[in-house]
A and B are shown apart, each in its own frame.
Chain A
């Protein structure tokens, strides 16, 4: 069975500071990993994905994530937070193909002026 653990249900940073949202996964097969962002009362928007190509993945809005197999991690980072980054972020894993996504519990990011 696959699972995702997101450390920290709430993360607060100052505008311009580094954003680091942690995600660890468990999978019996090589995983496909995704980060989605959800703004209040909206759907899930794909930020970036790892699908067995480059381990450092760049996404939209200046976010990137690095797949580290030895640490079973896929942490999301952004060098400089912007007020518009305030949202909830979900890490998800699948076994690829047409398999379902298994989501973490989410991390709510607050950006302080």
Chain B
């Protein structure tokens, strides 16, 4: 079965640089979520999109922005990177609006493999 695709899988940046993380949801999934997981931490919600509109916002720094495109893929843009931004960034998708292929699956979030960002 198709899974969530994230690119790149690994990224090394210098302080004050910018980074763009991409997420391709499972086909027929219209809702995308971004989470940040620091070393030894639990994942923290950043932002979500439903049908290309921002649906919720969590603890996302003002230096970060995100959007969802017409093909439902999403990009997380990170500027003025800081050492503390080093983390694993997960994208998840769910079929909230479309219902998906499995009954009762609307609220289930399926996670991608993550992008490991290291800021030096």
Looking at chain A's contact residues, is the secondary structure mostly helix, strand, loop, or mixed?
loop
Please tell me if the beta carbons of B110 and A96 are within 8 angstroms of each other in the complex.
no
Please tell me if the beta carbons of A100 and B45 are within 8 angstroms of each other in the complex.
yes
Bin the interface of chain A by size. Answer: 20 to 34
- Number of CB contacts from chain A to chain B under 8 A: 64
Bin the interface of chain B by size. Answer: 20 to 34
A85 and B101 alpha carbons, distance in the complex (Å): 28
B33 CB within 8 Å of chain A: yes
Write the nearest CB–CB distance from B102 to chain A, whole angstroms: 11
Please tell me if the beta carbons of A102 and B45 are within 8 angstroms of each other in the complex.
yes
A interface, CB within 8 angstroms of B: 32, 34, 36, 41-46, 49, 51, 53, 90, 94, 96-106
B interface, CB within 8 angstroms of A: 31, 33, 35, 41-45, 48, 50, 55-56, 58, 90, 92, 94, 96-97, 104, 106-114, 116
